[in-house]
Amino acid sequence: MVRSFVAAALLAAASPISAQVHASPLVDPKVASLRDLALDRDQHAWDIVEGLTTEVGPRLAGTQAEARARDWAVTRLTAMGFANVRIEPFDMPVWSRGFESAEILAPFPQRMVVAALGNSGSTGPEGVTGEIVAFDSVDALKAAPDAAVRGKIVFVDHLMPANQDGSGYGQFGAPRRQGPTIASQKGAQAIVIRSIGTDHHRNPHTGVMTFSDGAKPIPAGALSIPDAEQLVRIIKRGQPVRMRLVLQNQTIPGQSGNVIAEVPGRDPSLPPVLVGGHLDSWDQGTGAIDDGAGVAIAAAAAKRIMDAGRPLRTIRVVWFGAEEPGLFGGEAYRAKYGKQPHYALIESDFGADKIWKVDSKLGDARKAEAEAIGKALAPLGIVTGKFDEADGSDIGPMLKDGHPGVGLSQDGTRYFDIHHTPDDTLDKIDPAQLRQNVAAWTAVLAILSGGIEEPKARKRR
Amino acid sequence: MVRSFVAAALLAAASPISAQVHASPLVDPKVASLRDLALDRDQHAWDIVEGLTTEVGPRLAGTQAEARARDWAVTRLTAMGFANVRIEPFDMPVWSRGFESAEILAPFPQRMVVAALGNSGSTGPEGVTGEIVAFDSVDALKAAPDAAVRGKIVFVDHLMPANQDGSGYGQFGAPRRQGPTIASQKGAQAIVIRSIGTDHHRNPHTGVMTFSDGAKPIPAGALSIPDAEQLVRIIKRGQPVRMRLVLQNQTIPGQSGNVIAEVPGRDPSLPPVLVGGHLDSWDQGTGAIDDGAGVAIAAAAAKRIMDAGRPLRTIRVVWFGAEEPGLFGGEAYRAKYGKQPHYALIESDFGADKIWKVDSKLGDARKAEAEAIGKALAPLGIVTGKFDEADGSDIGPMLKDGHPGVGLSQDGTRYFDIHHTPDDTLDKIDPAQLRQNVAAWTAVLAILSGGIEEPKARKRR
């Protein structure tokens, strides 16, 4: 485990400002104090992610497990003292996984580890059997004549790199996002891809894809990376390779929902600050880094502000439902609240490793506020990025609509080792790095919420 | 991956003796030269382990897959030029895995990842359902009154450490080796243990166990380590925990065999040097580190001696069958050859990470030979250990009988991350460390085989 090493480095780099160290006069001392207290001792985030992943575990969008997660969330957020805790339900199609297996029949019989991609067609219980036709990229698949693909099982390879900014996922995710549609259009009976990931474990990476342009759904699975490499070695021997693939999936109508909780502002007429993450997870892990950590960080930071006093603006915590199958929760929130002004949107959905960069898009008139955020985060080892950029999954469409936002980027170097695999479990979260996340979010919320008024009993006179 | 870092450190520590570096006069220059050539460029070992794991893949003892591995081995060893290549078959009971699953039914419904232990009883297709009773060790299980265990599903935890010498495996393997028998004797309906391993992936560690003292076979499985930790968190919530466990296994009569190949010595009347590894693997990985690497290292080193000329003593390469379920191949060899003298026995069965220590048990009369081995290995970064100790799996019983032996210890720090899991695949082998293994074995064989006579055509005059 790299855990203890990273934690030590982190603490060394971003220890709380002690009485012996002079802090920058450019950072509000109250903001600095809240930040450092979170870094030193936040326990809220760990308790949430530990509780959610243990007491609910996997929570696939639209399933009973996700419904249990919403009930758990309401109980927990209410107990934490949030106001206006509520579930806002919405309907959606619910895809779920059944039995799945992959087996090389010839020339070298052996089983492989496979996971259906979200929205994969089903092979039925008897499976499909066919010859493998292999491509090193989606571009190569696109360029192939239909006759080379028709009736076969397509395999698409790639070499996604592990980058701090997670930039491999966009470009190298093409086999998952576009591969199934192209394979279907060319008449393939099924497709398997090298998992979109950066590890070397026998844990395949699932993830959503959509058959577009009228393409007929075909079975679509991801092989674990060691299996994909094994398949390439087998193919390179030059003999025809036959695979039997069983992916039994189904899609039925169902329901999900967003869970919302608030820290009421002193001036309810002001636009709220939205902080969020998503409550659903894929079905094979317990959704610790994706996105138990995110909902935990968002709520923990809001809780720390709430405990410090009353903010000027309302902080609205949103635990979105059904992000994984296609941002259903974000769209439901947008449909209901998207026309109302928001002071800022922030979402945590990239694990719980150390935040290394802050971007924002608050508009020219709020440049000083954006700069104050950067100054407040620098002692956590966070670089200030761009002033015209903010990103997020569920909040993405609303950011595109023009709502202001802040983006806190976690280190993504090992994120895609774990992402969408059975390995997304609590042990992958480093408590010290999680606290650094909460510290950063707390500082951002302290600034965005417009000044905290301490409770009267504790007010200094 | 730690791979490139380790490889670089290894090469830095053990680069071939160049013309600019004076070598110890205590090491035979011919031995040093064979050693350094192997370190620099051995390809035989990689080709064997790559070929075996790709073209055969998993090869559970007694199955058709293991029979394919024997055929593959005969073809490969013959092509490499070995003499007297043969299969020596033997009968054995063949245990194999069927469908398996574990599910927490209450209080927090969720699936867990489980693998049956070798020789586990079968639950049948309907599985068993019961309340979990948890113990932190086999000692705690032993101490429990039968009434606390009867009719329940036992869970045994432990905290095996990752040590360079692999010493955690003996002590902390007790839940697997003794747990099932004790649980059965106390009337448990099944047992699940925390995998005997040191990783944090959802890949359970299988391994053999035996029901002793007349204990009735019960279903016995290993949870992956993240699942075991999750189960502990669930148990600590204080509510009764119910699990449904399905482990469908069977045992039928079958056959395995040892594959033997030789480099004939100039004096066939002298006792041979036996170098081995085991050909079978568990069924879920492709048996790269356990023990594709071992058979590859043994044969590669023998091949390098063969290519250099004719040794005085015969080198006998033995790829044992059916090691995993209980050293059947070793016992078959011992039954046939155990009364005959052997000059030395060596076996590689601990992965392919860097060798860090050499022990030997050649007897007082051969102390100088043992010391020469130590001197020849020191430039590879290998410490000389004891002169009264040698170890091995299949060769273990013969060593106990008093046959001389040499033990080359690989670094075991990450061995039990992978051991007996689906993750035992080719990508876990670092080619540079594998070459260091071959270099060490080549040097040892060059010394033990008693002097190589170069082929006449190439002989210097």
Residue B457: what pLDDT?
Answer: 58
Question: SS3 for chain B, per residue?
Answer: CCHHHHHHHHHHHCCCCCCCCCCCCCCCHHHHHHHHHHHHHCCHHHHHHHHHHHHCCCCCCCCHHHHHHHHHHHHHHHHCCCEEEEEEEEEEEEEEEEEEEEEEEECCCEEECEEECECCCCCCCCCEEEEEEEECCHHHHHHCCHHHHCCCEEEECCCCCCCCCCCHHHHHCHHHHCHHHHHHHCCCCEEEEECCCCCCCCCCCCCECCCCCCCCCCCEEEECHHHHHHHHHHHHCCCCCEEEEEEEEEEEEEEEEEEEEEECCCCCCCCCEEEEEECCCCCCCCCHHHHHHHHHHHHHHHHHHHHHCEECCCEEEEEECCCCCCCHHHHHHHHHHCCCCCCEEEECCCCCCCEEEEEEECCHHHHHHHHHHHHHHHHHCCEECCCCCCCCCCCHHHHHHCCCEEEEEECCCCHHHHCCCCCCCHHHCCHHHHHHHHHHHHHHHHHHCCCEECCHHHCCC
Q: Which residues 206-225 of B have a C-beta within 8 angstroms of A? A: 225
Instruction: Give ipTM to 2 decimals.
Output: 0.92
Q: Note whether residue B100 is domain-resident.
A: no
CATH code of the domain containing A182: 3.50.30.30
Check whether residue A123 and residue A86 sit in a common domain.
Answer: no
pLDDT of B450 higher than 60: yes
On average, the pLDDT of chain A sits at 95
Average pLDDT over residues A409-423: 98
Same domain, B438 and B360: yes
Mark yes or no for CB contact A1/B56 under 8 Å.
no
Q: Is residue B79 domain-shared with residue B152, that is, in the same domain?
A: no
A428 shares a domain with A280: yes
The percentage of chain B sitting over the pLDDT mark of 70, rounded to a whole number, equals 94
Indicate whether B316 belongs to any domain. yes
Indicate whether A78 and A182 sit together in one domain: no
Domain end among A187, A218, A240: A240
Interval A124-135: pLDDT, tens: 999 999 999 999
pLDDT tens per residue, range A301-328: 999 999 999 999 999 999 999 999 999 9
In this predicted structure, the answer to whether residue B305 has a pLDDT above a threshold of 60 is: yes
> Which residue in B53, B113, B428 is closest to A422 by CB distance?
B113
Domain membership of residue B103 (yes or no) is: no
Output the pLDDT for position B2: 39
Q: What residues make up the domain containing A286? A: 3-93+253-454
Rounded Cα distance between A372 and A446, Å, is: 11
Pick from A54, A55, A235 the residue to mutate for testing the B interface (most B CBs within 10 Å): A54
Show which of A193, A217, A240 is a domain's final residue.
A240
**A354: CATH:** 3.40.630.10
* pLDDT for the residue B4: 46
Q: What pLDDT is recorded for position B458?
A: 52
Same domain, A370 and A278: yes
Residue where the block lists tokens 């070929």: B51
What pLDDT does B325 receive? 97
Instruction: Note whether A376 and A423 are same-domain residues.
Output: yes
What's the full length of chain A, in residues? 461
Q: Are residues B86 and B135 in the same domain?
A: no
In a domain, residue A102? The reply is: no
B58–A111 C-beta distance less than 8 A: yes
- What span, in angstroms and rounded, lies between the C-alpha atoms of A183 and B77? 42
Please report whether residue B444 resides in a domain: yes
Residue B342 lies in a domain: yes
| pLDDT band with cut points at 50, 70 and 90 for residue A1 | very low
> pLDDT tens-digit profile of A8-35?
455 555 555 555 678 888 899 999 999 9
| Res B461: pLDDT | 44
Neighbours of A171 (CB within 10 A): 10
B102 belongs to a structural domain: no
Please identify, among A207, A240, A273, the residue that sits at the C-terminal boundary of a domain.
A240
Banded model confidence at residue A361, pLDDT cuts 50, 70, 90: very high
**B406 within 8 A of B444, measured Cβ to Cβ:** yes
Q: Domain check: are A47 and A140 in the same one?
A: no
Beta strands per DSSP E along A264-314: 273-278, 310-311
A263, A220: one domain: no
Average pLDDT over residues B421-426: 98
Does the active-site annotation cover B453? no
CB atoms within 10 A of CB A401: 11
pLDDT > 90: percent of chain B:
92
Assigned domain for B379 exists: yes
Q: Which candidate in A66, A262, A323, A324 is catalytic?
A: A323
The token pair that represents B48 in the structure block: 């064997």
A327 and A414 fall within a common domain: yes
Instruction: Give the C-alpha separation, A433 to A410, whole Å.
Output: 10
Mean pLDDT rounded to a whole number for chain B: 95
Quick one: pLDDT at residue A18? Answer: 53
Does the beta-carbon distance from A54 to B423 stay under 8 Å? Answer: no
Please write the tens of the pLDDT for every residue from A246-272.
999 999 999 999 999 999 999 999 999
Chain B residue numbers with beta carbons less than 8 Å from the beta carbon of A287 are none
Number of domains in chain A: 2
Kindly name the residue from B66, B262, B323, B331 that is annotated as catalytic.
Answer: B323
Same domain, B88 and B129: no
| Residue A4 pLDDT level (bands cut at 50, 70, 90) | very low
Question: Looking at the partner chain, which of B108, B284, B427 has a beta carbon nearest the beta carbon of A55?
Answer: B108
When pLDDT is averaged across residues B39-46 and rounded to a whole number, the result is 98
